[in-house]
Chains A and B, each alone.
Chain A
Amino acid sequence: MRLGKLKGWLVLFSALALFATACGSSATEVVGNATDAAEDAVDAGVDAVDGDDDAMDDDDAMDGDDDAMEEGDHSGGLALEGSVEIATGTTLNLAECPDDWDPLQGVDGDEIRIGQSLPQSGALASFGAIGEGMEMYFDFINDTDPIAGKDLVLVARDDGYEAGRAVANVEEMIDSDDIFAFAHVIGTPINLAIRPITDEACVPQLFNSSGFPFWGDPANFPWTVGNILNYVTETEIWCSSVIEDFGEGATVAALIMNNDFGKTYQNTLNSSPACAGVDVVSEQLHDPAGADVTNEMTTLIATDADVLVAGTTSKFCSQTTAVMAGVEWRPRIYMSYTCNNLSSFFSPVIDAAATLSADDAGPWMANSNKICGDDAYASDPKIIEVERILNDYGSVTCADGSYSTGVLYGEFLVDVLRSASEMEGGLNRVNLMAATWNADTSNDTLLGGTLKLDGTDDAYWTEGAQLQAVIVDDAGNLTFEPKGDFVDFEGQGGSFG
């Protein structure tokens, strides 16, 4: 049979080609690892020096803490029993915590054990990179300036964005992974599902990544704190900008991802007073697991509205940009800031981005922080540091995914952990919540504003943003161009409900 004859060389040929392919993809890494190893060595040397004396300070500090510990509450630190008011309208009812509850769980050793459940598989698996970025930052902190001399450890589990798996993960971690606190659990259903568990177990659940507004509710859920600029605020920023530039009754066409995430944009557009002035002429919901949005976009294009709102994320950011570049319709595009990872979502469609930017129609986003990989900040010391951390501790760059977001979120966490460890009584769950609900800090990655919390008076973390448009500069690089000033809602959010 002819096939028989063919087979021989086909197999040979393919084997070779496959080999070639394999090398092709792995080559870069090999190099990466090599250089990276070298740099590690160097850094290690450098870090060792300052690392040491830091450690020294911390040790002193820690001894102090320990003494305080032994005397327990007498030391005047926050009580570790009964009901403790830790911030405005925010009370921890420790009496209702489990009998075996220990405020020092997960920090009594030489580690600070942080738990995390996030999608590493399934349709939203690309979020997994955030966790990895966080871990890289933890390693960096452990090397350079450990918190109270302890090692930050991240225990991350895959939940495939399934609430069911997340619940099991979290319960198991609380039971047997000696978790001190949870951080940056991703997704609204997931966080809703685990909040009762962490709350009942009196385990802090910090900076969860969900844009639903109801994470700022310390009166009822003092153990749970939100993180990102919530999508309601974001949408309201868009709406005010729309009304400012296009007047009342401006027409809006909306592309909405059909899940908790997209639906928040949809609901805000339709029901928020701030958006009362805009006229939503068409809403197209698309399947998060779907392959593309061409059909939905075609319908939206036909509306010829003043504004296109893209309440979607990941590959669909790229798709929306690409579709818009292909048609004559040039509305103002407002895109979710979850699309703001230029290298992940715009590099693949840079030509389309250039087309739009040439027509001054690049998508606008309400960004809260500088984007690693944005040419504009190439020389920004903070961004350079982030790139260095990613390279040294993960041999990745900002271009490889959402790792830099992980670093930023890691910084938030380390910030509050540090201030908790400096409080009287040292690092324990009560102090951590107190430190968090009274946080007053800032971060060089932010475009502006502050990171303040004040119990029920100000229960939202990231509250400032600046509208920026994606453009391709003369050098042909992707970058954000500021549109209008930095809007700071600090403190105005109050608390949920």
Chain B
Amino acid sequence: MASVIDMISFALLAAGGFCVFVGGVGVLRLPDLYTRMHAASITDTAGPLLVLAGLALQAGWSLALFKLAVILVFLAVTAPTAAYALGNAALVSGYRPAVVSDESGATDSEGEGHA
């Protein structure tokens, strides 16, 4: 029984790790701030959800479970807020998306998009 829980937990953790890593690659590889924020969002939502769920299975019914839940709520609430704050600050200061698909469909992949 314990091993079944361990296996589910392992699967959740590994999936969480995968999500996080994919997001990390995205943040490094994508061309401009807004697309990078897009990639970062997966590491802030799916990643913690899966990882903390995996840990919750390990924790069982205990104080640790409650703490995990609080951490999840913290992250779930603050990550979008931080993303909003960041995107807003960037946009207001005149930082424009670099990836603009025009008529010909060509994209501009320059990272530095100060308008």
**Is the A/B pair a real complex?**
no
Chain A residues in contact with chain B, CB under 8 A?
Answer: none
